Amino acid sequence: MQRKILVAALVLLLCMALVGACTKPAQKPAEPAKPAEEPKEFNVGFIYVGPVGDAGWTWAHDQGRQYLEKNVPGVKTYFVESVPEGADCEREIRRLVEQSNCKVVFTTSFGFMDGTLNVAKEYPDRVFMHCSGYKMDKNMGNYFGRMYQPRYLSGIVAGKMTKSNKIGYVAAFSIPEVVRGINAFTLGVRSVNPKATVKVVWTNTWYDPAKEKEAAKSLLAVGCDVIAQHQDTPGPQQAAQEAGKYGVGYNSDMSSFAPKAHLTAPVWNWGPYYVRVVKAVMDGTWKPEAYWGGMADGIVDLAPFGPMVPDDVKKLVEDKKQEIISGKWDVFWGPIKDQSGKVRVAEGQKMTDQEMLSFDWFVEGVEGTIK
């Protein structure tokens, strides 16, 4: 009997240690930092799909959270990391509302969409913002960024830097978001180097550093000398560095992982948007919106270039960037041909957001299949 109690106590201890390690609020609620200056606290919550230490997607959102806390006085943030997608997330969202008294909750993965909507209906006086989905309500909006714009720019760099005219692309899943990125990147590559092709390898995972690295190695083995990626870890660039080739990152400036290979990276910059939303809610001016911001808003951008990128390439990218920001031109404006050479978007025609959000074909120059 004593033994059973001891076992139970030990298991309980393990569980508590686990919970303690996994779900930590960003700050302890019991310590108001400067009560004299900021009497009124405004709590904001974040739900992450991965660990903040992934150096990729979730890390970028967490940078945005820290930016928000630094730039809006009186805001206190809470976050829960590694929340599984699906119905489970509802409990965590509710916890942020009930226990941490969050006025605004950001849920940062596609799979949180329905859960966010359900909780939003329960708390009509709070605001919920869901990233990368499409559902809305009176107190729920969604937001995302036009990542394809900086991807096009990173394609220009890759197209200029390749010598073998073969560029590898390590991609997670064949969903429209990823296909759109590959297409934008390839259009960028071919705008400066029509002979170059982009070879795609699917890993069927968002997060497996070793497998992503292996995928990059397989591309290097068939002669690719620049490796781009749509994954959540820096594995592909590390493979490029080991082979003495170049890499284009994603999500955040991953240059520290592979300094010799790092050309640039299309990156997320959520901070200013989080500030804007939270300020609007504080002022009472917030309205539900479906936000898809581009480079003009700064929500997506290009990481600083590596030292090997020559000045004329930097200038080329900068010019194109200004064209995109000014609205004079965008990536998916015709003429665009598909893999078979058929014109899919005619000269003078522009793809609509709806068409871009359901991309299911590759542009000319991509080697690979959507399956």
Partner 1 sequence: MDWVLAVSICQAAVTAGTPILFAALGEILAERAGVLNLGVEGMMLVGAVSGFLVTVRTGSPWLGLLGALVAGGLMALIHAALCVGLRANQVVSGLALTLFGTGLSGYLGKPVIGVPAPSTFRTVEVPVLADIPFLGPVVFGHDYLVYISYLLVPALWFFLYRTRPGLHMRAVGENPAAADAMGINVGWTRYIYTVAGGVLAGAGGAYLSLAYAPTWLENMTAGRGWIAVALVIFAGWNPLVALAGSYLFGGVDALGLRIQAVGTVVPSFFLSMLPYIFTILVLLVSTRGGRRLGAPGALGLAYDREGH
Nearer to partner 1, 14 or 308 (CB): 14
How far apart CA 127 and CA 140 sit, in angstroms, is 6
Contact footprint for partner 1 (CB under 8 A): 3, 6-7, 10-11, 14-15, 17-22, 50-51, 53-55, 59, 82, 168, 199-205, 207-211, 213-215, 217-219, 221-222, 233-235, 238, 256-257, 259, 367-369, 371
CB of 326 to partner 1, least distance (A): 34
Nearer to partner 1, 99 or 369 (CB): 369
CB of 350 to partner 1, least distance (A): 32
CB of 126 to partner 1, least distance (A): 29
CB of 14 to partner 1, least distance (A): 5
Closest C-alpha to 26, from 70, 79, 68: 79
Nearer to partner 1, 211 or 276 (CB): 211
As given in the structure block, the two tokens for residue 278 are: 């939270």
Nearer to partner 1, 60 or 277 (CB): 60
Nearer to partner 1, 190 or 217 (CB): 217
Radius of gyration from C-alpha coordinates of the chain: 22
Nearer to partner 1, 50 or 133 (CB): 50
Cis peptide before 266, with omega less than 30 degrees from 0?
A: no
Distances (CA, A) of 167 to 21, 49, 88, 154: 41, 30, 40, 12
CB of 67 to partner 1, least distance (A): 18
Nearer to partner 1, 55 or 102 (CB): 55
Question: What would you measure as the largest C-alpha separation in the chain, in angstroms?
Answer: 81
Nearer to partner 1, 3 or 40 (CB): 3
CB of 155 to partner 1, least distance (A): 19
How far apart CA 237 and CA 245 sit, in angstroms, is 9
CB of 9 to partner 1, least distance (A): 10
Q: Give the burial string for 262-301 (b: 16+ CB within 10 Å, else e).
A: bbbbbbbbbbbbbbbbbbebbeeebeeeebbbbbebebbb
207 and 241 Cβ atoms separated by less than 8 Å? no
DSSP 111: G
Closest C-alpha to 247, from 146, 316, 161: 161
Nearer to partner 1, 109 or 139 (CB): 109
CB of 21 to partner 1, least distance (A): 4
How far apart CA 133 and CA 196 sit, in angstroms, is 34
205 and 224 Cβ atoms separated by less than 8 Å? no
272 and 299 Cβ atoms separated by less than 8 Å? yes
Q: Give the burial string for 80-105 (b: 16+ CB within 10 Å, else e).
A: bbebeeeeebbebbbbbbeebebbbb
